[in-house]
């Protein structure tokens, strides 16, 4: 049996045709997820103020039910970096008014995903081939 894959949609269709054990499927997803996580981490901006808090918080939630999740964990400001902020905001902090201005989007998460997509797909394919002894 030969498995030839050209795109993500084709991978999913081929996987549905094969009888793949859930353990093997999760192993392949975890491997692909780890590659994507590393790609996202490597492109995450590191602010000198917080010493890379956002980068340290790029987390991988192990595969479950055919899905692996990469999230920002305790990096609660990730959406502000990824999408930017169109208007400033003002808050009171210790009795003082603190104002933040607009920020330009820096889509590090999207960029890391796009850069690792083909490598992650190939890692999944290799892991499944090993598991099925193809």
Residue 110 forms part of a structural domain:
yes
Indicate the average pLDDT of the chain: 83
pTM of the model: 0.75
The Cβ of residue 116 has, within 10 Å, a number of other Cβ atoms equal to 22
pLDDT of residue 34: 95
Residue 96 forms part of a structural domain:
yes
Residue 77 forms part of a structural domain:
yes
pLDDT of residue 7: 65
pLDDT of residue 23: 87
Residue 40 forms part of a structural domain:
yes
Kindly report, residue by residue over 42-55, the tens digit of the pLDDT: 998 887 666 778 88
Instruction: Give the pLDDT band (50/70/90) at residue 60.
Output: very high
The mean pLDDT value for 18-47 works out to: 88
**In this structure, what DSSP letter does residue 49 have?**
T
pLDDT of residue 6: 57
The Cβ of residue 75 has, within 10 Å, a number of other Cβ atoms equal to 19
Give the DSSP H or E segment for 42: helix 22-42
Query: Are 97 and 90 spatial neighbours (Cβ–Cβ below 8 Å)?
Result: yes
Please state, for a pLDDT cut of 90, what percent of the chain lies above it. Answer: 28
**Number of domains into which the chain is organized:** 1
21 vs 62 pLDDT, higher one: 62
pLDDT of residue 98: 81
Residue 65 forms part of a structural domain:
yes
Residue 2 forms part of a structural domain:
no
**In this structure, what DSSP letter does residue 103 have?**
B
Residue 32 forms part of a structural domain:
yes
pLDDT of residue 3: 45
Checking if the pLDDT of 1 tops 50, the result is no
Instruction: Give the pLDDT band (50/70/90) at residue 15.
Output: low
Strands 89-93 and 96-100: antiparallel
- Residue 29's SS3 state is helix
pLDDT of residue 16: 63
Residue 1 forms part of a structural domain:
no
């Amino acid at each position: 049996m030969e498995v030839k894959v050209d795109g993500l949609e084709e991978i999913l269709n081929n996987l549905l045709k094969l009888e793949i054990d859930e353990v093997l499927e999760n192993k392949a997803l975890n491997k692909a997820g780890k590659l994507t996580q590393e790609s996202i981490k490597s492109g995450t901006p590191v602010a000198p103020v917080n010493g890379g808090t956002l980068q340290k918080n790029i987390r991988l939630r192990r595969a479950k039910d055919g899905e692996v999740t990469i999230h920002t964990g305790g990096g609660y400001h990730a959406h502000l970096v990824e999408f930017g902020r169109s208007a400033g905001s003002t808050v009171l902090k210790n009795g003082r008014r603190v104002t933040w201005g607009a920020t330009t989007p820096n889509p590090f998460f999207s960029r890391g995903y796009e850069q690792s997509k083909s490598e992650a797909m190939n890692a999944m394919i290799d892991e499944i081939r090993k598991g099925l002894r193809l």
